[in-house]
Amino acid sequence: MHYLKTFLFTAAILSFTGFLVLAFTSQPSFNNETPILENDYNIYALDIPEALNFSGESMPLQSPDIRERIDRELLVNTYWQSNGLLLFKRSHKYFPVIEPILKSYGIPNDFKYLALIESGLQNVTSPAGAKGFWQIMKPTGKEYGLEINTNVDERYDFEKSTHVACQYILKAKEKFGNWTLAAAAYNAGVNGISKRLEDQNVTGYYDLLLGEETGRYLFRIVALKEIFSTPKKYGFNFDKTHLYTLPKTYEVKVDTAITDMVKFAESFGLNYKQLKTHNPWLRDPFLNNKSKKLYTLKIPEKGYYSKSITK
């Protein structure tokens, strides 16, 4: 939801900017002639692929409304170029972590695009209070064993939240029997999708009348999968040097309180910001740990940050 609202606001700005460019670069028309643009910029329609699928389950492209809906998402994600490039850059950093976890649960690789549309692979907070890369609500996180309080919020732990997302997806798959509805249920909830299927007397996602967000959900995932599978076809050009990478880290086990996180960070040659960057689940400049729980902190290998700490 957060991601979609941000897009709509940005798209409005871009559209207005484009109007100004055309207004100031076109020459006046005389005798009903077409105006001449000093800087001609072409926008091309996209050919919809003959076949598209999510997790091996075909999208019914023979239906006119399905074709229009996937066309929308292909256009939006192709021509919002700056956001597209950022998604490519971040995916190179985080997909190598997501992919083996999905595989360990027997979940198709296509679900990595679910995280991409949920958060843009950032630790964001939605207006409803969902947090992290996988946009997990507080009750769901606690149900699946995450620690969530003012001091620690493991929804911001990338790997732990990925495991929770996988468990939720498997539960939805068991309920509905296919991956498409399981993905939709990640957005609207298992009960929400069940009720809509029952109320509308249909059995599949593509036959459901849904709200804006859930109605676009699978189309956005499939559109990004298509674009990411053949980036140059959609005009995205980059090489490995442009992409982000996850730094190598080592683990530090802590089973006591940390009263001063700044000094704790400095003991590893880091500053507070750098420590929090790699451990965003730490929500305070201290760790209470009254229960003597064993926590694992990630510390980047020496030399990752070029500047030393000034004391």
pLDDT for the residue 28: 38
> Residue 53's beta-bridge partner residues?
58
Amino acid at 130: A
Successive 10-residue mean pLDDT values, the chain, 311 residues: 45 43 36 54 91 98 97 96 97 98 98 97 95 97 96 97 98 98 97 98 97 97 98 95 95 96 96 96 95 95 70 44
DSSP character for 305? S
Q: How many angstroms separate the first and last alpha carbons of the chain?
A: 43
Short-list 142, 298, 290, 126, CA closest to 134:
126
Residue 110 CB contacts under 8 Å (≥ 6 apart), including other chains:
54, 55, 179, 221, 225
Question: In the prediction, which pLDDT does 7 show?
Answer: 44
pLDDT at 116: 97
Q: Domain ranges for the chain, please list them.
A: 43-242, 249-300
pTM of the predicted model as reported, rounded to 2 decimal places = 0.84
CATH assignment of 43-242? 1.10.530
pLDDT confidence of residue 121: 97
8 A C-beta contact, residue 262 and residue 131: no
Distances (CA, A) of 303 to 60, 279, 307: 51, 18, 8
Return d(Cα 128, Cα 239) in angstroms, integer.
37
Tokens of 9: 């606001």
Res 2: pLDDT: 46
Q: What pLDDT is stored for residue 183 in this prediction?
A: 98
Residue 20 confidence (pLDDT): 37
153 and 131 Cβ atoms separated by less than 8 Å: yes
